[in-house]
Structure 1
Amino acid sequence: MKPSRVLAFVILLGAIAWIGSGVFGRDGEQTAALAPQAETQEQSLFRVAVLPVTVENHARRIVLSGRTEADRRVTVIARADGTIEQLNVRRGAQVKTGDILAVISDEAREALVAQAKAKLEQRRTELRARLKLIEQGNLAPLQKPQLEAELRAAEASLAQAETELSKNKVRAPIDGMVIDVPVETGQPLQIGAKVAEIIGLDPMLAVVEIAERQLGGIAVGDTAKVKTVNGVEAEGRVRFISAAASAQTRTYRVDIELANPDGRLPDGVTCDVILELAPEPAAHVPRSALTFSAEGRLGVRVVGAGDVVAFVPVRIVEDGLDHVWLGGLETGQRVIVQGQDFVKEGQRVTPVEASATVIGKG
């Protein structure tokens, strides 16, 4: 082989070796550069605070504004004409059933009673005498039914006269408090004139109006708590739920019966009524976790498998100042409670369990 050819062959091998060393060097440098870049991407994932939730049956509560109302309210009227001779009560008096509130002049009703008594005694005497005559055969037996009928008529006349006389006394029909006495001693009255007004304070009612969407959550017998504006607190039970809505407000009347033996609860005072509705599955989360999807749906963002963000639509079961009860979640889901507005669905994040200060107290 000629020396020139050998030299050319050596030069070719050298060139190939030089080119090869440059390619392999760059591949090594690229591989060495990719490892730190992957580590940097891992470290740059957005950190979010998450709270694992537990779904439980939660009894919803609603607070409604209402008023107290006396269970019984009676207007006492005069049942006879006459003048008030005696007035025994005034506003604020406590009365029992049957107590005499006022006495009206008899207007000859006592005389009518005396006359009826005399007539009855006469009929009795006549009946005894004629029965003896009938027994002796001196009087026809057919007269006995007539004599007995006359006696019964005399008894009825006396009962009627005594009833009219009893109307002189105006009596309390219920236990309660007298709240109005619009008459005075010596005042003439006619039948039907108002003498007094009485309200029964025990039991007392708390009356509220409930929306139709909440109507299905309560039932007669449910417990309710009541607090009046003057600080009196009481607990009672739902006694009545209206079956017809108000034409003006489209709400339904609900009566809560409250024991009031000492009269602490007055009639007509404003009060707050707390009703517990039927329980339903819900999770307790901070209110700040609520957000909206791109479509405008209310929900929360959660961290799912692979630490990937997902959006879960929810419904508010019960609203609160700092926390809410939400339906639509599942036990164990990690709800993002901090940073949810800075991430989007499908994004991979670094979840960090929320601290007690974030979780707060129920």
Structure 2
Amino acid sequence: MTKTQSTPSHLPHAWRLLGLLCMALGGLAGCTPAADSPVAPGAIQPPPSTVAVARGKIEVDGGLLDLATAIDGTVQQIAVREGQQVQAGQLLLKVHDEDLRAELAVAQSSYQLAQAKHKALTTKLPLLQAQLKRLQAAARDGAADLQEVDNAQAALRNAQSEAEVAQAEVKLAQSKTQQLRERQRLYALYAPEAATVVHLQAKVGSQVHTSQAAMRLLPLRPLRIRAELNESFAGAVQKGMRASVVLDNDSSSPLPEARVLRINPMYGPSTLQDDAQRGPLRVVECVLEFETAPSNLRVGQNVRVSFHE
């Protein structure tokens, strides 16, 4: 007799559970957006791919200004203090100039004297010209002889020559006075542009020299990032590339985005990193500018830069 195979009673229930599970998975798959579907507004975007990283330092465009006096001497006056903001042309420092001021006083007196002499001589000319005309008219009428006319002409010529000489003396005295005033400006140090005084090397009574800076200024210019690219990253970074920047000791506070402004075409030694075994690394300097002006940044702060495609 043939034995009939029976189906266990629990199998229909298992098949029903499997069917419900497939339907649930199919529903979830239908709710998942496609890879090319638009990202909903406000969704967190994945970070752009990083092609290079570098260490950098915050600098001011063009660098700090180390100012020295135009002449050697003793400081008479310091007109500013550290931390003070100054405007272009503002007096910063003066060097003692007593000898020059005495020479300038003499030159100014000579200039005034030359002006007075020239004025006196030019005042005489109209009188001598009028006298000559009267004698010439009288000579034509026979009321004066020709000798008187000749004497009047000679007197006028002499007066004109003296006035010309006096005018030349005025110009000479004026030129000397102007030269001394220009020399006097060399005894003073003025701000070349708007800036903040960050350090005073000179003090009242101290000696200053043309070869040594008397003070250092921080110009009110945009801040830049000078980053150092290792040799392995040098070819991956291009001008105009975007970069994210964070402080070296505070990565939780990102700075405004930056862009590559220029890349040095030469290799040089690193000033921000080195290898204990091989010594200073060879790097390529890269200068970046911020898209928006950052706040609460100081020149000299170290940063980390990530370059993106």
TM-score, length basis structure 2? 0.58
Matches of 2:163 and 2:238 in 1, distance apart? 65
Cα shift at 1:265: 1.9
Matches of 1:75 and 1:64 in 2, distance apart? 29
Does residue 240 of structure 2 align to residue 200 of structure 1? no
Question: Where does the alignment leave 5 or more consecutive residues of structure 1 unmatched?
Answer: 1-51, 278-362
Residue of 39, 42, 55 corresponding to 1:65: 55
Matches of 2:295 and 2:122 in 1, distance apart? 62
The correspondence of residues 230-245 of structure 1 with structure 2, limited to 5 A, is 230-231=249-250, 233-245=255-267
Matched residue count: 223
Q: Please give the per-residue CA displacement for 1:157-192, whole angstroms capped at 9, x wherever unaligned.
A: 112211232334332223333332222222244454
Cα shift at 1:274: 2.4
Does residue 198 of structure 2 align to residue 179 of structure 1? yes
Residue of 227, 243, 268 corresponding to 1:246: 268
Matches of 2:232 and 2:261 in 1, distance apart? 20
Query: 1:100 — aligned with what?
Result: 91
Query: 2:3 — aligned with what?
Result: none
Does residue 298 of structure 2 align to residue 266 of structure 1? yes
Cα shift at 1:241: 1.8
Which of 1 and 2 has higher RCO (CA within 8 Å, sep 6+)?
A: 2
Question: Where does the alignment leave 5 or more consecutive residues of structure 2 unmatched?
Answer: 1-33, 37-47, 130-155, 270-279
What amino acid maps onto 1:205 in structure 2?
Answer: R
What amino acid maps onto 2:300 in structure 1?
Answer: G
Task: Answer 1 or 2: which has greater strand percent.
Answer: 1
Does residue 181 of structure 2 align to residue 162 of structure 1? yes
* Contact in 2 for aligned 1:86/1:102 (Cα 8 Å): yes
Computed over aligned residues only, the root mean square deviation of the Cα atoms, in angstroms, reads: 3.6
What amino acid maps onto 2:223 in structure 1?
Answer: M
What amino acid maps onto 1:199 in structure 2?
Answer: L
* Contact in 2 for aligned 1:203/1:260 (Cα 8 Å): no
The correspondence of residues 19-98 of structure 1 with structure 2, limited to 5 A, is 61-71=51-61, 72-98=63-89
* Contact in 1 for aligned 2:51/2:236 (Cα 8 Å): no
* Contact in 2 for aligned 1:79/1:192 (Cα 8 Å): no
Alignment CA distance shift 1:63-1:262 (3 Å): closer
What amino acid maps onto 1:257 in structure 2?
Answer: E
* Contact in 2 for aligned 1:68/1:206 (Cα 8 Å): yes
Query: 1:229 — aligned with what?
Result: 248
What amino acid maps onto 1:67 in structure 2?
Answer: K
Alignment CA distance shift 1:120-1:188 (3 Å): same
Query: 2:42 — aligned with what?
Result: none
What amino acid maps onto 1:172 in structure 2?
Answer: A
* Contact in 2 for aligned 1:180/1:196 (Cα 8 Å): yes
**Largest Rg, 1 or 2:** 1
